[in-house]
Structure formats: structure tokens, C-alpha cells
Structure 1
Amino acid sequence: MNKRLKVAVTDYGFPDLHQEEELLRPLGFEFATGQCRTPEEVAALCADADAILTQWAPVDATVIEALQHCRIIVRYGIGVDNVDLEAAAVRGIPVVNVPDYAVDEVADHAISLMLASVRKIPQVVADVRAGEWQIAPRRPIYGLRGRTIGTAGFGNIARAVIQRAQAFGMDAIAYDPYVKDDVFAERGVRRADWATLLADSDVLSLHLPLNAETRGAMSQEAFRSMKPTAYVVNTSRGGILDAEALAEALRDGRIAGAALDVLEREPIERDHPLLRLDQCLVTSHCAWYSEDSLLRLQQFAALEIKRLFTGERPRHIVNKVVV
């Protein structure tokens, strides 16, 4: 391929871009990189790009309007709420995500948060360090066998979470109106509507995309519908859960605990009320991370560009574009 092509990397948190360069430079791509934070910065970097790789930078309608000959936008990760999908579709630009790079890592993290919350491990560790030694600490702690794990969403990560939870002897239910009945049956999972999911889950693990339908789904009303002994785990998107409503629910004892890897505003403010609640654990949006998944993310994202520019169809197009 003789023509020089440009891939614009709007922003990234990786040590380097060796994975992407090894795959795309042989095709004639040159790299333009930035750490863009505003649409104006993104537009300036990407206006003449043939392909875009983006992590968190806003690729909104004004950016897409400024693109001269871009053929693909790839998001490093699963969620695509930083990209205007409709504007890209109008321009005929496929938006592609990478949903399969960290399924095991996120599932492992979700289960780890569940175990740490239900077993109250951080609190017990803190007690021991403070000189308190109790063989039945932080009562009540309940066993997992026979309890119900529910997942909001039933995609790849939710299924991996349920598989792990079933190994602990937990029953499983899931809410996902877009998944067929036979998929539930194959995995021994009971289909639930939203109200049943909230009412029956002893542990509720969130695995929803962020969109107009799901934003704020975990509201005051949702927490009021849950068991007072229930726990919530969120490793999907922060905007699904109303953090203020969660703090109120925890303070009032409407649910027993929560563990969050994502919040609508990140990083979390140091004086955030959730950080003052023992029954809430917060990790730093790191569920996706392992050294293995880091390499897969970069490689899989670059492969989607390579596919398009070598005559193949990208595997994970998320907007309605004919390629």
C-alpha cells in the first residue's frame, strides 16, 4: 500500500503504542498522537485522519463534522459513550469497540468485590490492624451458597460473573431484554424482569451499557426495591448508578453494602460521602486491567483498523453503518 495514511490516537493511558505500530505501519499508516481533553483538541488532531483510535476523549458531533475522510473510529474499551454514534452513522463512519479484551479480568474483579463486600474483608482487616481480634466479626456475615446473584445485563462479562458465582453454589437470575431465552436456559440462569431482579438479588452485579435508557437506572426507587441484606457491585459504567442515592440507601440501611469500580465522575472526590461509609468499597476503574489485557486491548483495537483497510469487515461495529 503506497498511499500514506494517518491514524490519529486522541488519547491513551498505555506506556507506548508498539502494538498498534507493529500492525498498522506496514500498511502505510503514520501516527499522530495526543492527550486530547476537549472536542476542539480532538478535531484539530483528527480532521485529516483516515482512522481514529480513542480512549476517553470526546468524539462528539462537532468533531465528526470536521472529519475529512475518516473511515473508522475505534474505542479502546467496551463502552462508547464518548463517541456520538448517530453523527458517525450519518457520515457513514463505523464506530467499533473492543468488547472481548478483558472479559475474565472484569469478571474476576466483580467477584472479588462481591467476596470482599459480603465477607467484609477490608473492615475485618482494619479491625485486626487496630488490635481487635474477633472470631465472629462484623456480624452479620451470611454465606453465599443458596443465595441469588442477579446481573443487570447478560452479555459476555455478566455470563462470566455468573459462571464464577455458580461455583460458589449461588443461584442466578439476569435481566436482559435483548438476549434470547435459550441463552439463559443453556447457562442455568433464570430470566427476570427489572422489578424481579431488584427484589430477588442478594448480590446485584451491573453489566449494562450507558445510554438514555440505562442512565440513573440504580436510583432511590431501585434501592428501595432491594432487600436490606443485598449488595450492589458495579463494574460497568458509572452513570448507571446514582451515587448520592446509593450513599443515602447505605446510610439508611436499605441495602447492606456496595462495591464500585466505576463512577459517573472520576476520579472520585476525596470528600465523597461514599468514601466515609465502611459498607462501600471503591476501586479505581481498574477492573479491566492486567498486563495481559492491556496488550490485548491495544492489539485488538489496531486489528479492527487493519481489517477495514485490508478489505475485511470489522468485527465489533456498534453503530448502524454498512461497511
Structure 2
Amino acid sequence: MEKKIIVHTGAKPGTELPIESQVLNVPDVEFILRGRCDTPAKVLEAVRDADAALCGSEPYTREVFANAPKLKVVVRYGIGVDTIDLEAATEYGVMVANFPDFCIEEVANHALVLMLACAKKVVQLDRTLREKGWQAARALLSPMGTVHDQTLGLIAFGNIARAFAKRAKLLRMQVIAYDPYVDPAVFAEAGVESVGLMEVAERSDYVSCHLPLTPQTRGMIDAAFFSRMKPTAYFINTSRGAVVKEADLIAALEKKQIAGAALDVFEKEPIETTHPLCAMPNVILLPHTASYADATFQSLYYRVANAALTVVRGGVPEFVANPEVLPHRRK
């Protein structure tokens, strides 16, 4: 029996992947770690003879799909597929599996934590108390909003934003959102007002960004948006760093056009400690961890491995990011 080859293009040889290895330790599969493939050429070299690939943020380009004739599926850890050329995958009959129901509650909780940390200046007060003392910290209290009766503005209104909206409503906040692709009935059911993008900027005390990264959304949040925000407002991003023109955000913070920011994602990752944002006391920075919880990731590892196994045995994964491929998918 010829074994099906499943490769991992985001983990170095020797990396322990106990859950994936357990699921794929079956007679009809050979599971191979090809190393961290950070260029299309490296990805192609890794998957040229593979039947399935497991990936993180590695670049799966047209060149890859055109030259990997056995490849049937690319399984993406998580939700985003912005590093995968979906059009090329579809053209060559390759399914792209992802998990749009992954980490909804975790990221909504994370966004809530960041909003409250901004509102109550938790990180800034903690740092100042440790470094400069009690009185210096208390001198930073004003201006500080109430949270309740304030306005949360959401950029995009997908699953995570809707979960965040539910939490904000429990805090007696007004919630508005921009998303031209969502049916008005969805807004009405959630008790959220649908508004234009610039109205989100103008009315919100806290702006939380939940945009997917696409060619249309890349750099969408820019100087024009920040210039319309209140000087007491905070900007929160737990989506994708590249939807924001980071230089414009930095300029808005330097000019005190906005009160501060809380960022889990960045235009280029990882950021260095010399990054300008690292020197700003009114900015909370986290290393792209919004989705993380032990149990959540363990479940994801099982799902990723099982999706690949399903496909190499002739099936279709639970979620396909390019469903138009299904009639002519490789088998």
C-alpha cells in the first residue's frame, strides 16, 4: 500500500507535535516536518510530492499550486487564509481547509480585556506605580471614562465582533458597527446600530478592529480614520496588523489625536523591541496571542490533523475556504 504524504510546512524537524503525530500515526500515512518554510520556494520544495499540507502563515502562492501535482488540500491552523492564493488553489483543484469557528470566544474575551485595560489605564498605572510611585500613578487617572454608557465601535461584524458586542451590551455600552456585507436583520437581532466607517471613528470611545486581511482591506484603517477619532478614544486591533497603516497609527498617537491603543497584531511580525510603539506608555502590546487558550489549541491540533486525514482518504473537510473547488477537486 502506497502511503499518502502529509507535510507540515510550519514546524522544524524535531519539533514535538504530539497530537498531530498521534492522529497521523496510521499505516496509510507518512507525516513529515519540512521545517519553517518562509518563502514560496521553500513551500514548493516541501509540498512538491505531498498529498496534504498543514500550514500556519507560510506563503502558498500560484507557483506552489502549479507545481505540486498531488496536493489535494492545504489545512490552515485557525481562521485566516490571507497567505494562501485561494484563486490559484481553486484553479488547480486544491481544497483549502480552515476553521472559521475557531477561537471566537477567546478573541472576543481578549478584545474585551484590552478595552477594559485601556479604559482603566491598567497597564500604564501598573508601570508608573512600580517605576515612579503612588502619587505619579494617581496623577494619570484623568481623563478616564465610565465604560458603561460609553460607545464601542466595531469595524466588521463577523462572529468575533458579534461575540464582543454581546459582552459590551452586558456592560451597558452602546454598540455601533461598520460592515456593509452583513444583513440589516443581523444588526437588529444583536441590538447593534449599523453605521458608516467614519461614523465609527467619530462616535466611538473604543474602536475595535475585526477585519479580515484581503486586498481590499489592506491598509484600510489610515490617517483619515484616526483623524476623525475622539482625542479620548482608544483603538484596539485583534484582527490582522496589515489592515492598519501602522505609520498613520503611530503618527496619530504621537500627535495625541487618540488617547492610546491596544494591539495584538502588527503590520510585520514579530516586532522588535526598538519598534516605535514599544516606547509609547499609552499603548498595550501583545505578541499575537488573542486566540490562545490551552484547551482551544489542543482541540485545533486534533481538528487540523483529522481534516488532512479525511482528505487523503477521499473525503472533504468540515470547512472549505474555497468551496467552488469542490466539483473539480483533486482526488
Same structural fold, with TM-score higher than 0.5 when normalized by the shorter chain: yes
Q: Is the CA contact 2:7–2:31 (under 8 Å) kept in the aligned structure 1? A: yes
Q: 1:256 aligns with which of 256, 259, 267?
A: 259
Counterpart of 2:199 in 1: which secondary structure?
helix
User: In the alignment, is residue 20 of structure 1 matched against residue 20 of structure 2?
Assistant: yes
Q: Is the CA contact 1:8–1:51 (under 8 Å) kept in the aligned structure 2? A: yes
- 2:29 is matched with 29
Q: Is the CA contact 1:58–1:83 (under 8 Å) kept in the aligned structure 2? A: yes
CA deviation profile, 1:229-262 (whole Å, cap 9, x unmatched): 2111100101011111111111112111111000
- 1:81 is matched with 82
- 2:65 is matched with 64
Q: 1:322 aligns with which of 304, 326, 331?
A: 326
Counterpart of 2:31 in 1: which secondary structure?
strand
Name the CA distance, whole Å, in 1 between partners of 2:313 and 2:146: 53
Q: Is the CA contact 1:101–1:300 (under 8 Å) kept in the aligned structure 2? A: no
Q: Give the partner amino acid of 2:77.
A: Y
Q: Is the CA contact 2:6–2:308 (under 8 Å) kept in the aligned structure 1? A: no
Q: 1:275 aligns with which of 273, 278, 300?
A: 278
CA deviation profile, 1:199-240 (whole Å, cap 9, x unmatched): 222111111110111111110011012222211110010101
- 2:133 is matched with 131
User: In the alignment, is residue 204 of structure 1 matched against residue 224 of structure 2?
Assistant: no
Distance 1:63 1:224, change over 3 A: same
Distance 1:155 1:175, change over 3 A: same
Name the CA distance, whole Å, in 1 between partners of 2:51 and 2:313: 14
Name the CA distance, whole Å, in 1 between partners of 2:197 and 2:308: 37
Structure 2: state its 5+ residue gaps.
none
Q: Is the CA contact 1:8–1:53 (under 8 Å) kept in the aligned structure 2? A: yes
Distance 1:313 1:180, change over 3 A: farther
Structure 1: state its 5+ residue gaps.
none
Q: Is the CA contact 2:24–2:31 (under 8 Å) kept in the aligned structure 1? A: no
Name the CA distance, whole Å, in 2 between partners of 1:221 and 1:65: 40
Q: TM-score, normalised by structure 1?
A: 0.93
Q: Percent identity between the aligned chains?
A: 39
Name the CA distance, whole Å, in 2 between partners of 1:16 and 1:288: 21
Q: Is the CA contact 2:177–2:193 (under 8 Å) kept in the aligned structure 1? A: yes
Where does 1:27-176 land on structure 2 (aligned, <5 Å)?
Answer: 28-33=28-33, 34-129=35-130, 130-133=132-135, 137-176=140-179
Name the CA distance, whole Å, in 1 between partners of 2:318 and 2:207: 30
Q: Is the CA contact 2:52–2:312 (under 8 Å) kept in the aligned structure 1? A: no
Distance 1:29 1:267, change over 3 A: same
The farther-off stretch of 195-204 and 19-28 is 19-28
CA deviation profile, 1:68-126 (whole Å, cap 9, x unmatched): 21111111121111111111111011112122221122111111111111111111112
Counterpart of 1:218 in 2: which secondary structure?
coil
Counterpart of 2:23 in 1: which secondary structure?
helix
Q: Give the partner amino acid of 2:26.
A: P
- 2:218 is matched with 215
Name the CA distance, whole Å, in 1 between partners of 2:127 and 2:154: 30
Name the CA distance, whole Å, in 1 between partners of 2:55 and 2:27: 20
Q: Is the CA contact 2:4–2:312 (under 8 Å) kept in the aligned structure 1? A: no
Counterpart of 1:214 in 2: which secondary structure?
coil
Distance 1:108 1:15, change over 3 A: farther
The farther-off stretch of 19-28 and 231-240 is 19-28
Q: Is the CA contact 1:88–1:95 (under 8 Å) kept in the aligned structure 2? A: yes
Distance 1:276 1:135, change over 3 A: closer
Q: Is the CA contact 1:220–1:249 (under 8 Å) kept in the aligned structure 2? A: yes
Name the CA distance, whole Å, in 2 between partners of 1:303 and 1:171: 42
Counterpart of 2:299 in 1: which secondary structure?
helix
Q: Give the partner amino acid of 1:17.
A: L
